């Protein structure tokens, strides 16, 4: 995560991943890891093909070959996780009845991510909520999520 990107949903995903590891909930771990990986992949910047040449013209030193990462807004991060939810639900719907257990796992993973989408503050509301709450903790703490609304199932 870059220092200037918004930590809202990404922080909620990391907190849920930690809580899922403690609970040994493999479905929640898989969903969170997949979503975090998709976010990290979206931040990657394409690298131009290396030019041929002498070794002395190559990058040298600590960090010389590092590439700048893209800055994603909270809206972008939410859109990526929303796509992850939609892909899992679509895959579960396409699976034949013979693999109903896998379809149920995909729906459960989608529900974990959908719950995080509903429970995490957006970029616009995060500052307002924290100012209104003062020193109270936000209600979307990891491990204390409610089930997603029926419309999201």
Query: What are 65-95's pLDDT values in tens digits?
Result: 677 788 889 999 999 999 999 999 999 999 9
- The torsion angles phi and psi of 141, rounded to 5 degrees, stand at -50, 145
Q: Report whether pLDDT(107) > 50.
A: yes
In 3D space, the residue among 8, 125, 16 whose CA is nearest the CA of residue 78 turns out to be 8
- Whether this prediction's pTM lies above 0.75 is answered by no
List helix spans (H) across 1-153: 8-23, 26-43, 74-94, 100-119, 123-133
State in Å, rounded, how far the first CA of the chain is from the last one: 30
In the chain, the percentage of residues whose pLDDT exceeds 70 is: 61
> What is the average pLDDT across 15-41?
95
CA contacts within 13 A on the Cβ side of 94: 6
If DSSP codes are grouped into helix, strand and coil, which group holds residue 60? coil
How many Cβ atoms are within 10 Å of 93's Cβ, its own excluded? 10
């Amino acid at each position: 995560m870059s220092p200037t990107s918004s930590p809202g949903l990404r922080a909620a995903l990391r907190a849920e991943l930690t809580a899922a590891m403690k609970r040994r909930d493999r479905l929640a771990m898989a969903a969170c890891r997949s979503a975090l990986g998709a976010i990290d992949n979206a931040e990657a910047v394409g690298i131009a093909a290396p030019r041929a040449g002498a070794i002395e013209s190559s990058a040298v030193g600590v960090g010389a070959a590092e590439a700048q990462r893209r800055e994603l807004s909270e809206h972008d991060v939410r859109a990526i996780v929303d796509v992850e939810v939609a892909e899992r639900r679509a895959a579960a719907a396409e699976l034949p009845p013979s693999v109903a257990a896998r379809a149920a796992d995909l729906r459960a993973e989608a529900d974990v991510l959908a719950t995080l989408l509903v429970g995490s503050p957006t970029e616009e509301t995060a500052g307002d909520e924290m100012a209104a709450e003062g020193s109270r903790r936000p209600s979307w703490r990891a491990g204390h999520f409610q089930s997603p609304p029926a419309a999201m199932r």
